[in-house]
Amino acid sequence: MRFDVLAQDSGSAARVGRLETTRAVIDTPVFMPVGTQATVKSQTPVEVAETGARLILANTYHLMLRPGSARVNEMGGVQRFMAWPHAMLTDSGGYQVFSLTGLRKIDDDAVTFRSHIDGSKHVLSPERSMEIQAQLGSDIAMVLDECPPGNGDRASVERAIDRTTRWAQRCLASPRAEGQARFGIVQGASFLDLRLNHLAELADLPFEGLALGGFSVGEPIEIMYGLVAEIGPKMPAQKPRYLMGVGKPTDLLRGIAAGIDMFDCVLPTRNARNGQALTWGGRVNMRQSKHQVSSEPLDAQCDCPVCRTYTRAYLRHLFMAKEMLGPRLLTQHNLHFYQALMRGARTAIAEQRYISWANAVEAKFVAEDEVDTAREE
C-alpha cells in the first residue's frame, strides 16, 4: 500500500491524498460504503462503483459466521465472491463482538462469543481475526481491538487500551494476505490524554495506517468533534487516518477539517431503507405527504440516475406501498451524495477554501443532533 498527501488546506488540517492498494487507487478524503455481508445492501457492485466509490468495507464478524471465511477463500476472496473489482477494507470483528452483550466473554487471549444466527460458540483472538481477514483477502485489515463502553471509567478504559496495544502487536506478528495493509486502532473513550498516549504507542508500530475507534458510541457529538479536532492533526501525517463508523454529513466535514482521510458508516444505506434521503438541501423524509404530487427530482443538484429519472411523488409512492425499489433507489442516491460530498471536499481543500465550503454545506444539516452508532447493517 502506498499513501501520498497531495494537498493541504491552509485554514484547517484538511488534506487531499491518494491511497494505492493492490486493487485500486483511492482519492482521499474517502467515504467507504458498508457491505456487511459481502453486499452493499440492495446495490450491485456496478452501481456502487458508478457512485465513484473504489473502497468499500465488509464485516469480519458476519462473514466468519456466514458463509464462513474458509468458504469465501475457496471462492477467491471476498472481492471476487461478491464481484467487486476494486478495494476492500475488513474490520476485525471486534466491534460487533463487543456489541453482543451477554453473549460474550473476554480475556487476554481472546473473545469467546455466541453467534447471533444459531447460538454456536466462536473464539476470536487477534491471530484468528488476522487469519480470517487473510482468508477474506481484503486490501486493508484492521487489528482486533477492545472497544470499551463510551461511559466506561478511566481505569477500565486504560485496561482496554493496554489490551488493544498487546493485541495490535500480536496482529502484526500474524500472517496476512499478500499485499494486505494493516491498520492499528486508537482507543481511549472520551479521555483525551489516554487517546494521545495510545496514539503515541501505536505510532511506533509498523502499521500502514491508523484509525480512531470507539467514537460515535453514544457520547455527545460535540465531545467527539472536540476530541477528533485535537487528535486528528497529531496522527502521523504520512499515513492514512481513519475515523471508524462515522457518520453524518456534518461528522464527515468536521473529521476532514481535523485531517481525517477515511470514513465509513451505515447511515447513507440504512437511512435510505427507512425512507430518509441525504441531499444538498439537507435531509428529506420521503414519506412526507408534501411529496405526493411533486414532480421535482429528489435533489435538483444531484446528477445520479435516481435524480435524473424519478419524481419525488414516485419515490414516495414506493415507500408508502412498501416496494423494494424504494429503499434500493434511495440507497443509490445516498451513496452518490456521499461520494459527491467527498469530491466536493477534495476540490475545496485543493482550492484552499475548505472551511467556507464545509460551513455552507453544514448549514443544510443543522437539525442533526442524533448520532448513528451502528457499524454494520
Say how far apart CA 202 and CA 193 lie, in whole Å.
14
Binding of its own copies by 325 (CB under 8 A): yes
Strands, E assignment, 119-247: 121-124, 140-142, 181-186, 209-212, 241-243
Binding of its own copies by 10 (CB under 8 A): no
Q: Where are the alpha helices (DSSP H) in 218-304?
A: 221-231, 249-257, 267-273
Q: Is 264 a catalytic residue?
A: yes
Say how far apart CA 20 and CA 18 lie, in whole Å.
7
Binding of its own copies by 53 (CB under 8 A): no
Stretch that binds its own copies, among 20-28, 106-114, 224-232, 311-319 (CB under 8 A): 311-319
For 276, the grid coordinates are 430518509
Binding of its own copies by 41 (CB under 8 A): yes
Helices 325-350 and 312-320: crossing angle in degrees, nearest 10, is 130
DSSP for residue 232: G
Binding residue for its own copies, selected from 8, 44, 156, 169, defined by CB under 8 A: 44
Binding of its own copies by 81 (CB under 8 A): yes
Stretch that binds its own copies, among 69-77, 152-160, 191-199, 333-341 (CB under 8 A): 69-77
**86: nearest Cα among 36, 37, 132, 19:** 19
Smallest gap from residue 48 Cβ to its own copies (A): 11
Q: Which of 9, 139, 145, 264 is catalytic?
A: 264
Smallest gap from residue 366 Cβ to its own copies (A): 32
Q: Is 91 a catalytic residue?
A: yes
Nearer to its own copies, 83 or 300 (CB): 83
Look at residue 51 and give its three-state secondary structure: coil
Identify residue 48 by its one-letter amino acid code.
Answer: V
Footprint of its own copies on this chain (CB under 8 A)?
37-39, 41-44, 62, 66-67, 71, 74-76, 81-83, 292-293, 295, 309-311, 313-314, 317-318, 320-321, 323-325, 327-329
As annotated, the active-site residues are 91, 264
